[in-house]
Structure 1
Amino acid sequence: MTSILRPALVLFVLLSALTGLLYPLAVTGAAQALFPAQAQGSLVLRDGKAVGSSLIGQNFSDPKHFWGRPSATAPMPYNAAASGGSNQGPLNPALAEAVKGRIEALRAVDPGNAQPVPVDLVTASASGLDPHISPAGARYQAARVARARGLPADHVEQLIADHTEAPLWGLVGEPRVNVLALNLALDQAR
């Protein structure tokens, strides 16, 4: 019996050490060496203090800031520990009601804006944590933000253009604007 049990235990301890200790340490070390910012969570720093991550959306509700995509995470919006969408399909009455409420909130804060509301401003992403909005979503909010901050509209439009990221390698994805980066640039512009 020991001739069978001993090799099995040795193999178990060896594989546990290899896959549970050595491999994670090697991967973490390689990530820290090759991609230090990403390995630390892609943190965005202001005055040496972390103010967010470039990979996780934040809840902006002040009219002086651009608003990101709605979050469907629970129990609070933009909860990185509970990433996930609402799982509501396009025919779900709850989704239709949520979208209607979001449109009303956007219209209430900017009643003179008669443009069609871009879909990314009223629907949550699959993760519920998307830090980006479309350039159209940013432009939709530009006049409100400029008015609330007392900035020229063309200055705000230029900030949007400066913070619009191109598709990956020019092929993958759509142009997008990181809401946190744009709002931080606005805060510096004052």
Structure 2
Amino acid sequence: MKTNLIPSIILTTGLVVLLCVAYPLMMWGIAKFSPNQGEGFIVEAANGKNYVNVGQSFTQDDYFWSRPSAVDYNAAGSGGSNKATTNAEYLDEVEQRIADFLVKNPTVDKHDIPVDIITASGSGLDPHISVDAARVQIARIAEHTGIPLAQLEQLVEQQTQQPLWGLFGPEKIKVIELNIALDALKK
């Protein structure tokens, strides 16, 4: 018994120290060297109002829409739907999102709708959309705001974030920052 018990206690103690003390301290230290020192990102609007940089619900016709959320944009309950792409209920939900999008964006062809504007992210809180998802909404926003198409296209280009180090990931746009910049154009 002693031959198993003592190594088990040593291994358990070592893993507790490693995983409950050393690893969290290491992650905290790395976060302190990241932008905003690991405190998360706050987006500040020109009117002084602050927004948390997680997915927000934008469904008004005069704003760029964000990705759908399986958790209704609730950061306390982050998660996806966990439904397979072959699940009938999930497919009905996506088809309804496509239909809703096409009603509000009649100039867009069904096959031109980017997947990220009709499907939720894994966390349900993704603050980004693809550049294509922003571009397909420009005609609707121009119609509802009176802002010229060229000016909206330029806004999308200005708000486009390049991949990390120019290599990793796609170009993307933070919807909250894009809509704050859009509010500034409306004035």
Give the structure 1 partner of residue 50 of structure 2. Answer: 50
1:22-171 pair list within 5 angstroms: 31=31, 34-35=33-34, 37-46=36-45, 47-53=47-53, 56-73=54-71, 77-114=72-109, 116-171=112-167
| Structure 1 residue 112 displacement after superposition | 3.3
Give the structure 1 partner of residue 9 of structure 2. Answer: none
TM-score scaled by length of structure 2: 0.79
Cα distance in 2 for partners of 1:127, 1:106 equals 22
Offset from partner CA, 1:72-92 (integer Å, 9 cap, x none): 11xxx1111111111111110
Q: Which consecutive residues of structure 1, in runs of 5 or more, have no partner in the other structure? A: 1-11
- The number of equivalent residue pairs is 169
| Runs of at least 4 residues off by over 6 Å | 22-27
How has the CA–CA distance of structure 1 residues 39 and 175 changed in structure 2, closer, same or farther, with 3 Å as cutoff?
same
Q: Which consecutive residues of structure 2, in runs of 5 or more, have no partner in the other structure? A: 1-12
Write the letter of the residue equivalent to 2:52.
Answer: G
Q: For the Cα contact (< 8 Å) 2:105–2:140, is it kept in 1?
A: yes
Write the letter of the residue equivalent to 1:186.
Answer: L
TM-score scaled by length of structure 1: 0.78
